[in-house]
């Protein structure tokens, strides 16, 4: 993490920031967040990230008392202050009040925290291990990107201990849902298949963009309920995320191996890079 962060309206050294021990968001993970890429000092697809955070905050009853343009501008200022033209950022709204143990009545409704850092390195071709019962799709908050991320973080730590890069999470019905921080895609018969949002997966920003740009690349992407058995007939597998963009999967468990990257994965990776370059060429008003 870089040495300067945003705490509400200020860019300050990390060590000077103090959160209330009675802050309900800190005690219970009550809040929303998003992780995004910084390209050339620009927070990529910030508008999409903000829209998703707004939806999730409404579901979780987390106030977001800031305007999008103000937070986007503050993030750009922070990236400059940290000399971070390329990297990643995390924007969080941490709820201050509510709950049995809350003792933060003298604070505002939420704390805004923004961090930047260098990009986390990932292998060119990644390996997954299947995690049954990793997602509960029937929950009220299924698919929400909330601060309570310990279950995913714990799974990821265990996966790294056994030499894999990420886990492929199954929901309570045994359907493929997502990875701990990425969406999953299978290629079969020249078409791309991905679990529907009803699987409990996150509505990923890169996933959303791929649905928009794939037709222009002559590639069809459609949602479909999938199980581990579908891996046996997959010609390629890839994942998408903000930090990993479009990333090839070479292996899932010991049983399934795939070309990495495959032809369609490569085509979508190039199409996504073209989209990034086009986005960066827009003015702030055109990005809205």
Q: Residue 20, Cβ neighbours under 10 Å: how many?
A: 18
What's residue 104's pLDDT? 64
pLDDT, tens digit, for every residue of 203-241?
A: 999 999 999 999 999 999 999 999 999 999 999 999 999
CA pair distance 202, 196, nearest whole angstrom? 10
CA pair distance 179, 167, nearest whole angstrom? 5
Residues 6+ apart with CB under 8 A from 282: none
Residue 99 has pLDDT above 80, yes or no: no
What's residue 263's pLDDT? 97
What's residue 288's pLDDT? 77
Is the CB of residue 91 less than 8 Å from the CB of residue 114? Answer: yes
Q: Beta strand 31-39 with 4-7: parallel, antiparallel or unpaired?
A: unpaired
The fourth-level CATH superfamily of domain 125-277 is D-amino Acid Aminotransferase, subunit A, domain 2 (3.20.10.10)
Write the class of the CATH domain 4-117: alpha beta
| Global pTM value | 0.96
pLDDT, tens digit, for every residue of 27-83?
A: 889 999 999 999 999 999 999 999 999 999 999 999 999 999 999 999 999 999 999
Query: Where is 158: in which H helix or E strand?
Result: helix 150-161
Distances (CA, A) of 97 to 27, 62, 109, 213, 261: 11, 10, 6, 41, 47
| Residue range(s) of every CATH 3.20.10.10 domain in the chain | 125-277
* Mean of pLDDT over the chain: 95
| Residue range(s) of every CATH 3.30.470.10 domain in the chain | 4-117
What's residue 24's pLDDT? 87
């Amino acid at each position: 993490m870089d040495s300067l962060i945003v705490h509400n309206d200020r860019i300050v050294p990390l060590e000077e920031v103090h959160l209330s021990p009675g802050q309900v968001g800190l005690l219970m993970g009550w809040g929303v967040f998003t992780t995004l890429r910084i390209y050339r000092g620009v927070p990529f697809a910030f508008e999409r990230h903000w829209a998703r955070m707004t939806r999730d905050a409404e579901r979780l009853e987390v106030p977001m008392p800031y305007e999008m343009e103000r937070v986007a501008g503050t993030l750009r200022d922070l990236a400059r202050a940290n000399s971070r033209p390329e990297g990643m950022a995390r924007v969080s709204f941490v709820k201050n009040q509510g709950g049995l143990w809350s003792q933060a009545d003298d604070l505002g409704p939420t704390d805004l925290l923004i961090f930047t850092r260098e990009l986390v390195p990932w292998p060119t071709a990644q390996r997954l291990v299947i995690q049954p019962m990793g997602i509960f799709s029937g929950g009220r908050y299924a698919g929400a990107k909330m601060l309570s991320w310990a279950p995913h973080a714990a799974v990821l730590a265990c996966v790294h201990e056994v030499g894999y890069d990420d886990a492929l999470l199954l929901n309570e019905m045994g359907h493929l849902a997502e990875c701990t921080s990425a969406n999953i895609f299978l290629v079969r018969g020249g078409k791309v298949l991905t679990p529907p949002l009803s699987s409990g997966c996150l509505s990923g920003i890169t996933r959303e963009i791929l649905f928009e740009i794939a037709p222009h690349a002559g590639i069809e992407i459609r949602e479909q309920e999938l199980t581990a058995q579908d891996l046996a007939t997959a010609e390629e597998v890839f994942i998408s995320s903000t930090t990993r963009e479009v990333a090839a999967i070479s292996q899932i468990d010991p049983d399934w191996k795939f070309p990495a990257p495959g032809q369609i994965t490569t085509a979508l990776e190039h199409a996504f890079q073209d989209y990034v370059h086009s986005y960066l060429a827009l003015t702030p008003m055109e990005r809205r």
